Amino acid sequence: MEAVRLERDAFLYSETDLAEAMGSNPSLEHASEAGGFLRAYHHYCREMEACIAGYNSVIADYEAARDQKVEQYERKIGWLKTALHAHYVHSGEKKLDYPDGALSMRKGSERVEIENEVVFTNTHKLPFVREVYTRTPDKAAIKKHIKTTGEIPEGADLVRGEDTFVVKPATKTKTLPPHQGE
């Protein structure tokens, strides 16, 4: 009996056979096949998670290397900018033109900063303070009203999302050894 189960399960781990089967309408010929399908399902879920973890590790390594390089470039750029700024200030000119670029100062943009908005809005009126009111539907209250009374307010609707199929692993599953060819 075990040999028959292993033979039935073997195609689930064969990339060629499974790829061909995936092109057809998936179905179980016998209820006894469900166990094999569940084992294969969990096997591929674990394989996918391991693959994702591996790629995430590589991505993290590349991101760390990138961040290190960016920091090196930022230090070099900062040092060069400081030297150019010192040269510009020392010259006393408004603008210095060179074949490879120009040095000048640009005035910073002006903006208003409020130290304490509560105090400011309580002590000032229009035109320095504007009042803004927003009205939005309270969807949680509407849903509660519909569930309680069965009445749907005009302009609202209770929409149910599409049902989803869930495959939940058993709390204790046997770990399958890797199949041959991996």
Q: Annotate 79-129 with three-state secondary structure.
A: HHHHHHHHHHHHHCCCEEEECCEEEECCCCCCCCCCCCHHHHHHHCCCCCC
Q: Report how far residue 76's alpha carbon sits from residue 115's, in angstroms, rounded to the nearest whole number.
A: 37
Residue 75 is assigned to a structural domain of this protein: yes
Q: What would the pLDDT profile of 97-148 be if each residue is shown by its tens digit? A: 998 899 999 888 888 889 999 999 999 888 889 888 888 899 999 999 999 9
Q: How confident is the model at residue 83 (pLDDT cuts 50, 70, 90)?
A: very high
Q: Report how far residue 85's alpha carbon sits from residue 24's, in angstroms, rounded to the nearest whole number.
A: 69
Q: Does 181 score more than 70 pLDDT?
A: no
Domains in the chain, number: 1
**Confidence (pTM):** 0.53
Nearest to 101, CA basis, from 87, 122, 119:
87
Q: How confident is the model at residue 39 (pLDDT cuts 50, 70, 90)?
A: confident
Q: Report how far residue 22's alpha carbon sits from residue 41's, in angstroms, rounded to the nearest whole number.
A: 13
Q: How confident is the model at residue 15 (pLDDT cuts 50, 70, 90)?
A: low
Task: Label residue 86 exposed, middle or buried (CB < 10 Å: 0-12, 13-18, 19+).
Answer: exposed
Q: Does 176 score more than 60 pLDDT?
A: no
Residue 47 is assigned to a structural domain of this protein: yes
* Helix (H/G/I), strand (E/B), else coil: 26: coil
Q: Does 20 score more than 80 pLDDT?
A: no
Report the pLDDT value the prediction gives residue 19, as an integer from 0 to 100: 59
Looking at residues 59-69, what average pLDDT do you find?
Answer: 97
Nearest to 141, CA basis, from 158, 117, 161:
158
Residue 56 is assigned to a structural domain of this protein: yes
Residue 111 is assigned to a structural domain of this protein: no
Q: How far is CA 88 from CA 41, 93, 106, in A?
A: 68, 7, 13
Report the pLDDT value the prediction gives residue 182, as an integer from 0 to 100: 42
Q: Does 174 score more than 70 pLDDT?
A: no
Q: Does 90 score more than 70 pLDDT?
A: yes
Residue 169 is assigned to a structural domain of this protein: no
Average pLDDT of the chain is 83
Nearest to 8, CA basis, from 17, 174, 173:
17
Report the pLDDT value the prediction gives residue 33, as an integer from 0 to 100: 72
Angle of CA points 179, 180, 182, to nearest 5°: 80
Selected residue with higher pLDDT from 56 and 182: 56
Give the residue numbers spanning the domain of 25: 2-102
Quick check: 37 and 67 in contact, CB under 8 A? no
Report the pLDDT value the prediction gives residue 89, as an integer from 0 to 100: 93
CB atoms within 10 A of CB 36: 19
Report the pLDDT value the prediction gives residue 3, as an integer from 0 to 100: 55
